[in-house]
Structure 1
Amino acid sequence: MLKIYKKFNKFIFTIIKSIIIIFIIYSTITYANEDIFNVELQPNINARSYILIDYNTGIILTEKNSNEIQKPASLAKIMTSYVIGKALAKGKLHRDDIVTISKNAWATGNNEFNGSSLMFLKIGDHISVNYLIKGIILQSGNDACVAIAEYISGNQQNFVNLMNFYAKKIGLKNTIFKNVHGLDESGQYTTAQDIAILGKSLIKDFPYEYSIYKEKSFTFNHIHQKNRNLLLWDRTLNVDGIKTGHTKDAGYNIIASATKNNMRLIVVILGDKTEQDRKKNSKKLLNWGFETFRTINPIKKYQKIASIPILYGKQSYVRIGIKNNVYLTIFKNQEKKIKILYHIKNNKIFAPIYKKQILGHITFLINNHIIVDYPLIALEDIPKGNFFLRFLDYIRLLLSKWIKQ
């Protein structure tokens, strides 16, 4: 029995010690900011604004004026695509639905469409939703945006309201949409950071919709048009989306995403000078990101991290873990510098324990910077033990107090 008491007291001492260590460290460190990735030799990009983020962690690897207001141009169609994805997911829209094209979506009959990208729809055409989606994504058809907006919401303004509603919901803090296609309009604006968040949300929430963005061309009504994202043809990068945009006021915009070695990066450039510049600069940023950083997954969701003692339970231990995959974006060859700290909330944990109950937290640090912090949860239910088990634990508690005295 003495071994049990010693083991229990050792556990209590370890927990108290960890709390002291956590307190000392928390008083001498700061949360990760731009300083942690303050690297030299960053790419020299002359666009008005840009940002490069890691998809899994959301960490900003580099940026310039990423919260400065810009015109979205056709990058607004990503939000149109997001709203379409929501309508499909809710069953309010189906890919085989047939849409009758109205005068408002007539490609050559609306002056606002002059000189812009079109699917070339005609009044009275009967077009499937699936074709319109491809017309929006691959041909950047402004007419297709109007057609599907009217079909989903009755009119364009109602659809724009949905765009702004979901924009706020996914965390776009500096974005307002005024139309469904992105043509320049007073009061319509966004930022590079918001576009990165939008792209990340589309990839995560609607993977099938996102998969269309990698298609290189689309033919409708005998008119063959290529995807304007030239990075899709670049064999040195595994780019699988997403969109370009251009107007006189906006300049040349792009958001692109690429993968390498289980790492996904998202780059956004707003207000570049030429089509070739936006391709060259977005490629430069992606290559720099892959060469400089790596993203690792040290702990999987619901993976057992440890077992900790509990009192008055049917079992003496409960398995703990994290409900999310843990991703860390770090400099290459920096894995050995990662420090992991565990903190259990209470010195003594009593049954019953419920699955997903928060019991503490785990912190990952590099060079005394907190990279990320996650709650530690119970991975199982532990009900109260019978009278005999609870009585044994009660005796242990009394004995542990007596030993401390």
Structure 2
Amino acid sequence: MTQRIALRDIFFLFAAACLALLPLTGQAQSTVPRAPSVEARSYILMDARSGHIIVQHNADQTMPPASLTKMMTAYIAEREIQSGNISLQDQAPVSVKAWRMGGSRTFLKEGTQVAIDDLLRGIIIQSGNDASVAMAEYIAGSEDAFADLMNQQARALNMNDTHFMNATGWPAENHHSTAHDMARLARAIINDYPEHYDIYAEKEFTYNGITQTNRNLLLWRDSTVDGLKTGHTDEAGYCLVASAKRDEMRLISVVMGTASEQARAQETQKLLTYGFRFFESYKAYSANDVLANPDVWLGAANTVRLGPQKDVQLTVPRDSADRLQADMTINPQLRAPIEKGQQYGTVTIRLDDQVISETPLVALESVEEGGFFSRLWDHIMLFFKGLF
């Protein structure tokens, strides 16, 4: 059974409904110009809500991520805080290994103890290698063991082209990631632990009497930018994962392998400007919206409510939402028992003739088998309808 609806209208569809088509005529076609030229070896622009990729180039090419690695270090720390395994007030010891780390530093002192809250800010704002190692050792006992946690988490986030050897991004063989995977990680940081996300927008942090500023220049240049992380090594070039929110739309940009600190900010700004100017986020349906109410045979109830289990978020060219249409395909002859959360159909969303989303329609309630006589009657009806 297939039904079509315009997404501007939310329908309660019943079992006897036939194909319903709302034609859209006279709509002006949106014009989306070519994406800007970006001077980076690899880059991607993603809608944080839908996960839709607006622009990409070499986004799945493996490259050294440099200090972008610390996004995963911070993510695991945030996960451990959320789960109650550690707290922001815990005091982590500073080992000789952490103290001796070169490169960007929070200037921890060997033999002292540092609050997890300070380590988290040292990692995110100052890009402290010493803070990253101290955090890794506190959570997992050693940096090597922590790297195993990082790789497990990468697989859980479908970062399939990423492998970590350390918590800092210090150059190491087989330590690599991609722009696409870094965008996936940024999306997880934003969506999974929003209570910690404000740290990524902080412009400076003082520890041990030393104030250091966030290296993300866009925090000063664009008030809508509120994260996330910079990185640089000779091999990786200058890298930046940035996120910005304007109105109801949040974008994630990743550039890897740019020529300078200024270049990574400039090329990121190009991507963000393009995305916000020519695209918009659109919620087609909310979780648990009732989109269909088909018949159920042999059940204690005669119908079942079907809808999406999660919000259906889309990324579309601006002013094109009126041209969205949806086809709903529902499994024929639904028979009890019906299990809540089980898929019994699909809603396919198109912009003009292009499929842009396919979402399972699941049962929003369970329907148990009916009594003996009601099931007997349904069997008789199915027999005469030739559906038995």
Residue number in structure 1 paired with 2:91: 98
Q: Is 1:356 matched with 2:349? A: no
Gaps of 5+ in 2: 1-13, 22-29
Give the alignment of 1:69-108 within 5 angstroms: 69-106=62-99
Residue number in structure 2 paired with 1:205: 192
Task: Tell me the TM-score normalized by structure 1.
Answer: 0.84
**Shift in Å, 1:39:** 5.3
Residue number in structure 1 paired with 2:9: none
Q: Is 1:222 matched with 2:209? A: yes
Residue number in structure 2 paired with 1:28: none
Residue number in structure 2 paired with 1:29: none
Residue number in structure 2 paired with 1:31: none
Residue number in structure 2 paired with 1:278: 264
Give the alignment of 1:69-218 within 5 angstroms: 69-106=62-99, 110=100, 113=102, 116-218=103-205
Q: Secondary structure at the match of 1:279?
A: helix
One-letter amino acid of the counterpart of residue 296, structure 1 = Y
Q: Give CA-to-partner distance per residue, 1:107-149, whole Å, 9 cap, x none.
A: xxx3x50xx2110011122211111111111111111111111
Residue number in structure 1 paired with 2:48: 55
Task: Tell me the TM-score normalized by structure 2.
Answer: 0.87
Separation in structure 2 between the aligned mates of residue 317 and residue 194 of structure 1, nearest angstrom: 43
Answer whether contact 2:32 2:278 (CA < 8 A) is retained. Answer: no
Separation in structure 2 between the aligned mates of residue 53 and residue 253 of structure 1, nearest angstrom: 16
Q: 2:61 aligns with which of 63, 68, 74?
A: 68
Separation in structure 2 between the aligned mates of residue 149 and residue 11 of structure 1, nearest angstrom: 56
Residue number in structure 2 paired with 1:382: 367
**Shift in Å, 1:68:** 1.9
TM-align CA RMSD: 2.4
Change (3 A) 1:179 1:38: farther
Change (3 A) 1:156 1:38: farther
Deviating more after overlay: 222-231 vs 80-89: 80-89
Gaps of 5+ in 1: 1-9, 22-36
**Shift in Å, 1:77:** 0.3
Q: Secondary structure at the match of 1:212?
A: helix
**Shift in Å, 1:86:** 2.8
Answer whether contact 2:15 2:303 (CA < 8 A) is retained. Answer: no
One-letter amino acid of the counterpart of residue 100, structure 1 = P
Answer whether contact 1:48 1:272 (CA < 8 A) is retained. Answer: yes
Q: Give CA-to-partner distance per residue, 1:203-254, whole Å, 9 cap, x none.
A: 222222323111121111111111111212234x411211111122211100
Number of equivalent positions: 366
Residue number in structure 1 paired with 2:34: 41
Answer whether contact 1:81 1:209 (CA < 8 A) is retained. Answer: no
Q: Is 1:370 matched with 2:355? A: yes
Q: Secondary structure at the match of 2:34?
A: coil
One-letter amino acid of the counterpart of residue 244, structure 2 = A
Q: Give CA-to-partner distance per residue, 1:172-197, whole Å, 9 cap, x none.
A: 12222222111222332211111111
Change (3 A) 1:395 1:164: closer
Separation in structure 2 between the aligned mates of residue 381 and residue 88 of structure 1, nearest angstrom: 36
**Shift in Å, 1:401:** 5.0
**Shift in Å, 1:89:** 3.2
Q: Give CA-to-partner distance per residue, 1:274-317, whole Å, 9 cap, x none.
A: 11111111111101001111111021001111222222333322
Answer whether contact 2:15 2:292 (CA < 8 A) is retained. Answer: no
Q: Which has the larger radius of gyration?
A: 1
Q: Secondary structure at the match of 1:351?
A: coil
Separation in structure 2 between the aligned mates of residue 240 and residue 380 of structure 1, nearest angstrom: 40
- Of Structure 1 and Structure 2, the greater helix share is in 1
Residue number in structure 1 paired with 2:274: 288
Q: Secondary structure at the match of 1:318?
A: coil
Q: Is 1:317 matched with 2:303? A: yes
What's the % identity of the aligned pairs?
Answer: 38
Which protein, 1 or 2, shows the higher relative CO under an 8 Å CA cutoff with sep ≥ 6? 2
